[in-house]
Amino acid sequence: MSKTNSLNGLPNNLAKSFLGTLSYYKGGYMADWLVYMSKKEGVTSIELDVLNETISPEIDLKKPLLVHLNRLKNIISTELLNHGFDKSHIVKATLRFEIFPARNYVRCYPSIEDVNGKVYQIKKTIIETAYEVDFKTQKNFFKKLISFFYFD
């Protein structure tokens, strides 16, 4: 029987993987997208359900946040198998973000719950700064680029 303490680091791994430089999507990292969405949609808190691939509150620009969830699910599966647990041992995995658009940073509170109801959380908040202060999506970048080369 595996010890559940071996899963204590999993919430941190999920948050760091999601906010890290490998999670890039069309012109920005995840902290960039979160700050951009906060400014555009007026939300200061977002909860991402990793296993069910949902976002609360419902926002229009959700694809950038959902695109890397399969990688996070794979991290959960791999971690469980490495520690001798069944893939269904984790029943809930969430990343809750508090977004501070005026200061261009986010705080992440990752959490997982197992089949026995044990909740795994980190003791210290993860803070990530948006790299692009004036974040623009690639779509906007290409529109400007095209308008630069084609004068009307």
DSSP structural state of residue 32: H
Distance between CA atoms of 23 and 68, rounded to whole angstroms?
7
Return the exposure string of 45-70: e unless at least 16 CB atoms fall within 10 Å of the residue's CB, then b: ebebebeeeebeeeeeebebbeebbe
- pLDDT tens, 8-44? 899 999 999 999 888 888 888 899 999 988 888 889 9
| pTM for the full predicted model | 0.82
Angle between helices 10-19 and 69-82 (to 10 degrees): 150
SS3 label, residue 99: strand
- pLDDT tens, 44-66? 999 999 999 999 988 777 888 89
CB 55 within 8 A of CB 96: no
